[in-house]
Each structure stands twice: as C-alpha cells, then as structure tokens.
Amino acid sequence: MTHRTRLCALALTALLTLTPTTAACAAGPGPAPGPTAAPAPSARATSPAELCTAIITKWARQLYEAHDSTYGDYQSMGLSNGQYTILRDILDAARAERGAGSEAAGRELIDRQARERCAERHQDGGPSGGPWA
C-alpha cells in the first residue's frame, strides 16, 4: 500500500462522507472507492415525560420491594415536589393493590400509573413554577 493510498484511506475513515479531499484521493491509482456510509443518526433525546416516568418508576419499585411504609426524602431522590406527590400516590395505590391482589399487580400498577401521571404532568410541555414544582 502506497503512502498516498494509506493517507486516502485514513481521510475516508475519518470523514465518512465524500468531500473534495477524499474525491481527490479517488483519482489516484486503482479503483475509485465506493459510496461511503452515512453517519449514524444521533441518539434521540429523552422527553421530560419519559424522564419523569423513569425516575418515579425506579424509586417506586425500590420502595415497594422494600416492604417499608416510608416514602424517603424527595430531595435525596432528585425529585421535584410534584414528582414526589406522584410517587407517594402511586406507592399508596400499589401497596393497596398488593394487599388486595399480588406483588406483581402492584408492580404493574406502578409502571402504568407512573407512565400515565407523567404524561399528564408534561402534556402541555411541563410544569411551571420553577425546577422543584
């Protein structure tokens, strides 16, 4: 492999798109390189409702599985006051469901209600009144 060919291969690898620099490399000896791969799409951002659902589900499941009647400190959990209200409501309902049904029924309730309550909370773009609302 010649120095020019190696240089062209490095340029193609680094850029992943056809630019004037890499086009000049194609004019060198040997066959022209094929089409280059398009860059991978960037990761999709997590919506506020999805983030709310994830954090409330995480804490609700952890507290539910501990079989403890406490709720914990919302600030140490990284929850806003509104999210903490949702967490407490969901835990109360899940614990009642566990008493009337089963452990699995309580877990299903946590997942469903966290998704529904967070979607409702963020349906108009999110809560107002500061970061802890």
Q: In whole angstroms, what is the distance from residue 77 CA to residue 6 CA?
A: 53
Per-residue model confidence as pLDDT tens digits over 33-62:
555 666 666 688 889 999 999 999 999 999
Q: In whole angstroms, what is the distance from residue 48 CA to residue 63 CA?
A: 23
Residue type at position 75: Q
What is the mean pLDDT of the segment spanning 92-108?
92
> Of 26-40, 41-55, 93-107, 111-125, where does mean pLDDT reach its minimum?
26-40
What is the mean pLDDT of the segment spanning 75-99?
94
| Contact in structure between 25 and 11 (CB atoms under 8 Å) | yes
| Contact in structure between 55 and 83 (CB atoms under 8 Å) | yes
The predicted pLDDT at position 41 comes to 65
Residue 19, pLDDT above cutoff 60: no
For the chain, report the end-to-end CA distance as a whole number of angstroms.
Answer: 63
Q: In whole angstroms, what is the distance from residue 46 CA to residue 96 CA?
A: 31
Q: In whole angstroms, what is the distance from residue 123 CA to residue 43 CA?
A: 22
Give the residue among 62, 47, 67 at the shortest CA–CA distance from 115: 47
The predicted pLDDT at position 83 comes to 94
Q: In whole angstroms, what is the distance from residue 123 CA to residue 120 CA?
A: 5
Dihedral pair phi/psi, residue 61, rounded to 5°: -65, -45
